[in-house]
Amino acid sequence: MEQGKVVALYLCKEHRQPMTSVQKAVAISDLGLEDDRHARQGSARQVLVMDAETLAALDLTPGEIKENVTVQGLDLSSVTAGQVFFIGDEVTLEATGPCEPCSRMDEIRPGLRTELDGRRGIVTMVLNGGTLRVGDAVRVEPSKEALLEEAAR
C-alpha cells in the first residue's frame, strides 16, 4: 500500500477558464466536487487525480493540465480501474481508468498531448463524500476483486 499526500486542489468552475486553486474542497458521493463543472452523477470522470512528480518532470505546475487533486508520493502509473483512493478521514474515490490527454493539452503547450500519453493521471468517481484538504494523507488500495483473487491463490 502506497501513501502520499495532497499538495494542491483545483476546481474547474467554468468551461475553458483557468482552474481555481482552493485549500479544501467538498466531495459529494456519486457526483464529484462541489462547484466543479465536471460534477455529474454517474460520470466516470468526476475527479481527476494527478501526481506532482510527473508534472515536475514535464515542467508543468499543479492545475495546469486541469486536474482536481495533485498528489505527491504516489506512483499513479500503477493504479488500475477499481482501486480506491482514501483521502484524509472521509473521502474515498474509485479509479475508473487513466485520463486520456485531449487536444486541449496542445493549447497549453504544443506537443503536450503526446508527452502526457499514459501520464495524465487517473479519473475517479466519488464513493464516499466529505471534505478533502491540501496536506491530507492519501493512500491507494487494491480493488475488492484484486484482493479476492489474491486470497483465492
Residue-by-residue DSSP string for 54-105: HHHHTT--TTTT--SEEEES--GGG--TT-EEEETTTEEEEEEEEPPP-TTH
The DSSP H or E segment spanning 43 is none
Q: How much is the pLDDT for 14?
A: 82
Pairing of strands 47-51, 137-141: unpaired
**142: confidence class by pLDDT, cuts 50, 70, 90:** confident
Q: Which domains does the chain have, with CATH numbers?
A: 2-152 (2.40.33.20)
List residues bridging with 4 in a β-sheet: 138
* pLDDT value of residue 133: 98
Predicted confidence at residue 53, as pLDDT, reads 97
When pLDDT is cut at 50, 70 and 90, the band that residue 18 belongs to is: confident
State pLDDT tens for residues 55-113. 999 999 999 999 999 999 998 988 999 999 999 999 999 999 999 998 889 999 999 99
Q: Does position 147 have pLDDT exceeding 60, yes or no?
A: no
pLDDT of 120 above 60: yes
pLDDT tens sequence across 106-118: 999 999 999 999 9
HSE-up of 66 (CA within 13 Å, CB side)?
A: 26
Q: What is the pTM of this model?
A: 0.91
